[in-house]
Amino acid sequence: MAQHISYFSPGPAKIPDEVLAQVQEQLINFDTTGVSIMELSHRSKDFAKFMDKTEAVVRDLLCVPDNYRVLFMQGGGSGQFAAVPLNLISRTGKADYIVTGSWSSKAAKEAAKYGKVNYVVAKTERYIGVPDRSSWTFDPDASYVYYCANETIEGVEFHDVPEVPKGVPLVCDMSSNYFSKPVDVSKYGLIYGGAQKNIGCAGVTLVIIREDLLGKPQPICPTILDYTIMSKNKSLYNTPPSFAIHVLGEVLAWVKKEGGMAEMERRSVQKSKMIYTIIDNSSGFYSNNIQPRSRSYMNVVFRVGEGGGNEELEKKFLEKAAHQGLLSLKGHRSVGGIRASLYNAITIDDTQRLANFMKNFREENKI
Amino acid sequence: MAQHISYFSPGPAKIPDEVLAQVQEQLINFDTTGVSIMELSHRSKDFAKFMDKTEAVVRDLLCVPDNYRVLFMQGGGSGQFAAVPLNLISRTGKADYIVTGSWSSKAAKEAAKYGKVNYVVAKTERYIGVPDRSSWTFDPDASYVYYCANETIEGVEFHDVPEVPKGVPLVCDMSSNYFSKPVDVSKYGLIYGGAQKNIGCAGVTLVIIREDLLGKPQPICPTILDYTIMSKNKSLYNTPPSFAIHVLGEVLAWVKKEGGMAEMERRSVQKSKMIYTIIDNSSGFYSNNIQPRSRSYMNVVFRVGEGGGNEELEKKFLEKAAHQGLLSLKGHRSVGGIRASLYNAITIDDTQRLANFMKNFREENKI
């Protein structure tokens, strides 16, 4: 029998087994069209039906209000780093960025190509959580306030929607915790995320934008990043990444069947707690330096070895884990250590296997 | 038994049956990694091996010289309409566009956002071929000369590489005839194409660029459209559209196995000739108004009905064709009529079925 694999990759990441089986079965004949979803013309009636159905499940799961548009774009989160200012900064030429990790930092740097960026929280060398609200400084002229809901690399997550000045649109990168919990969309001007963590495979970016924010792109905005044009054309200005949209739809249908947003949140809390508890009860053998209130439910980042981490021991940890089928646990090269990504497709059982491994590894290697 | 379907869609388009079967088989366990290609981390060794292998087949089929880089990007041809000027126009701020159809026209309009565009051939209301070389006017200051090798909507193809002023880089949109014939890459500064016509599914854009053209993007170039950054990062600056790249690699491996570029060209000539011959021998029942020397081997565009086309008859043509499993033959809404797209995955047998249908349809409906 083949070894059971638990794949804790930060993205591209695990897709539910049921969804993979379903996508495989439908690959050659999509929904009785006689052709593959990869072949189906994006100008056909069958395709329009497919897009409507996919949008409907997005709207249903997140209770998207009627005055928001749902867009399927290309270019991933990195594409949105440019698209956001190119479409939204022209009102005042300025924007507020709440930088709490590597991804929001990258987004702020990209935005500075297109306008003036105000850093709401003081720059730090290391990211260890969401700084106290009392330390934030907003620019009263900002066209929008931007933040990243979950910093995949550092393992820092906002567990509440940040309070920002009234009337200023809030923009959020949800790439790594999209559809992992209920979201009050009405609090946002724009939400976006790449699909390859919680909602499918790489190649499609899901954007949800409040209608009144359309219509003001900078003249230099490339058409493929223009929300107004994409919205007018129902995401079919150019050929959309059909297959990736299909997988996204199948993943979300699975999420709905499993119980929707509340159930995904319950599981995420449970799974991350299983790992954080082992870290916290390891007498320093495992360590996580993120403020407890900002610890990510999606990406549990930790070091192995007393005194804040030992690279030799971490190498051994990764090797032994891999030997047991616990894969893709290496931390991002910029922070080192270990990272267990616990997206929706990671089961309680996968997490239990990792927890057991961590307990045994500590017993065998503690000083 | 299920009806045999011949799918003549202009893109997304038919993928070879063998490739679909192969992709389906490998969907859950890619190359013995134990995970799907959709799940595989783009920072893993297995992924690096996969990217190297895919690049190698591109280089092999088109004999790409060593001083050219191969990039896998997102955003399709429409994304490249912006990327080309954003990366290449800064040398002089000007560029030459040879507009021979809807796609090159769109590209020229997008380029005008980023610099001065010179129209090399006089604008016309209808596109009927590649105008005579003697009528072309180049701007001596152009940073590059741009053209579209095959206009999918009108069915206009360049059957030779256009002669342009010496030393000016030639840029070509090959989206709809990529890998349909041998290409002398050394004549180009840059070639690009979306994959969803001849080389796979939507979601990946294949760019081939001469090294010396890197390094001069405009400061406002979004990072995901920046050839220099993409090249430095071997197309892994951000998460690449892995699945679409995988399909592209499988399609090209099939092309190679079938005989490579020379064989694809031989088949394209044969297939398109089968349809053009019926048109030309139909005493005006079928008509194609493109200059014979510019007729596309990929997209055969024609009207049905004496006197240049009859919409009622065309509707009937499409209905009867669909009834026989000959699908997606409707012409683009901007030109009407019929379009048979004969990309690499369309077999001689598919084309023969269409040819037979056309003969019979004429017999039944001619005046």
Give me the CATH number covering residue A291. 3.90.1150.10
Residue-by-residue DSSP string for B317-332? HHHHHHHTTEE--BPP
Reported as a single tens digit per residue, the pLDDT across A115-159 is 999 999 998 888 999 999 999 999 999 999 999 999 999 999 999
The whole-number pLDDT of residue B363 equals 97
Residues of A in contact with B34 (CB under 8 A): 2-3, 5, 7, 325, 327
Is A235 in the same domain as A275? no
Residues of B in contact with A14 (CB under 8 A): 35, 39
- Look at residues B260, B253, B298, B294 and name the one whose alpha carbon lies nearest to residue B182: B260
The whole-number pLDDT of residue A123 equals 87
At position A305, the amino acid (one-letter code) is G
Classify residue B333: in a domain, yes or no: yes
Classify residue A10: in a domain, yes or no: no
Is A67 in the same domain as A193? yes
> Distance (Å) from the C-alpha of residue A10 to the closest C-alpha of chain B?
8
**In whole angstroms, what separates CA A75 from the centre of its chain?**
14
The whole-number pLDDT of residue B80 equals 98
Is B124 in the same domain as B45? yes
Is A268 in the same domain as A230? no
Is A66 in the same domain as A168? yes
Q: Is the pLDDT of residue A263 over 80?
A: yes
> Distance (Å) from the C-alpha of residue A247 to the closest C-alpha of chain B?
10
Is B109 in the same domain as B144? yes
Identify the closest residue of chain A to B236 by CA–CA distance.
A78
d(CA B21, CA B193): 24
Classify residue A12: in a domain, yes or no: no
Q: Is the pLDDT of residue A270 over 60?
A: yes
Residue-by-residue DSSP string for B219-251? TT--GGG-HHHHHHTTT-SS---HHHHHHHHHH
Q: Is the pLDDT of residue B38 over 90?
A: yes
Going by pLDDT thresholds of 50, 70 and 90, the confidence category of residue A91 is: very high
With a CB-CB cutoff of 8 Å, which residues 209-248 of chain B face chain A? Answer: 219-220, 222-225, 237-244, 247
Classify residue B3: in a domain, yes or no: no
Is A241 in the same domain as A163? yes
Cα-Cα end-to-end distance for chain B:
36
Q: Which of A224, A239, A243 sits opposite B243 (nearest CB)?
A: A243
d(CA B335, CA A71): 28
Q: Is A173 a catalytic residue?
A: yes
The whole-number pLDDT of residue B367 equals 84
Residues of A in contact with B334 (CB under 8 A): none
SS3 A263: helix
User: Are A28 and B15 within 8 A, CB to CB?
Assistant: no
Is A322 in the same domain as A175? no
Q: Give the contacts of A216 (CB within 8 A, at least 6 positions apart).
A: A87, A88, A90, A91, A228
d(CA A274, CA A348): 9
- Tell me the pLDDT of chain B averaged across its residues: 97
The whole-number pLDDT of residue B125 equals 82
Residue spans of beta strands (DSSP E) within chain A: 6-7, 68-73, 94-98, 116-119, 145-148, 150-151, 156-157, 170-173, 190-194, 205-210, 286-287, 299-304, 326-327, 338-341
Classify residue B290: in a domain, yes or no: yes
Reported as a single tens digit per residue, the pLDDT across A57-80 is 999 999 999 999 999 999 999 999
SS3 A304: strand
A–B: how many Cβ contacts below 8 A? 206
The whole-number pLDDT of residue A125 equals 82
Is A210 in the same domain as A359? no
Q: Is the pLDDT of residue B45 over 60?
A: yes
Identify the closest residue of chain A to B241 by CA–CA distance.
A203
Whole-Å CA distances, B25 to A26, B15, B30, B36, B39:
12, 15, 9, 11, 16
Does A79 contact B at CB distance below 8 Å?
A: yes
Classify residue A5: in a domain, yes or no: no
Domain span at residue B141 reads: 18-257
The whole-number pLDDT of residue B2 equals 66
Q: Is the pLDDT of residue B16 over 90?
A: yes
The CATH number of the domain holding residue B56 is 3.40.640.10
Last residue of a domain, one of A235, A257, A279: A257
Reported as a single tens digit per residue, the pLDDT across B114-171 is 999 999 999 888 899 999 999 999 999 999 999 999 999 999 999 999 999 999 999 9
Number of domains comprising chain A: 2
Last residue of a domain, one of A194, A224, A257: A257
Last residue of a domain, one of B231, B257, B283: B257
Going by pLDDT thresholds of 50, 70 and 90, the confidence category of residue B3 is: confident
Residue A261 and residue A179 in contact, taking contact as beta carbons nearer than 8 Å: yes
Q: Give the contacts of B224 (CB within 8 A, at least 6 positions apart).
A: A75, A76, A78, A79, A82, B73, B74, B75, B230, B237, B238
Is A184 in the same domain as A230? yes
Q: Is A316 a catalytic residue?
A: no
Classify residue B8: in a domain, yes or no: no
Classify residue A9: in a domain, yes or no: no
The whole-number pLDDT of residue A347 equals 98
What is the DSSP code (8-state) at residue B295?
Answer: B
d(CA A11, CA A217): 30
> Distance (Å) from the C-alpha of residue A297 to the closest C-alpha of chain B?
20
Q: Is B136 a catalytic residue?
A: no
Pairing mode, strands B338-341 and B299-304: antiparallel
The model carries a pTM of: 0.98
SS3 B339: strand
The whole-number pLDDT of residue A2 equals 66
Note whether ipTM > 0.95 here: yes
Residue A100 and residue A173 in contact, taking contact as beta carbons nearer than 8 Å: no
Does A85 contact B at CB distance below 8 Å?
A: no
Is A217 in the same domain as A349? no
User: Which string of b and e fits B114-150 if b means at least 16 CB within 10 Å?
Assistant: bbbbbbbbeeeeebbbbbeeeebeebeebbbbbbbbb
Is B252 in the same domain as B359? no
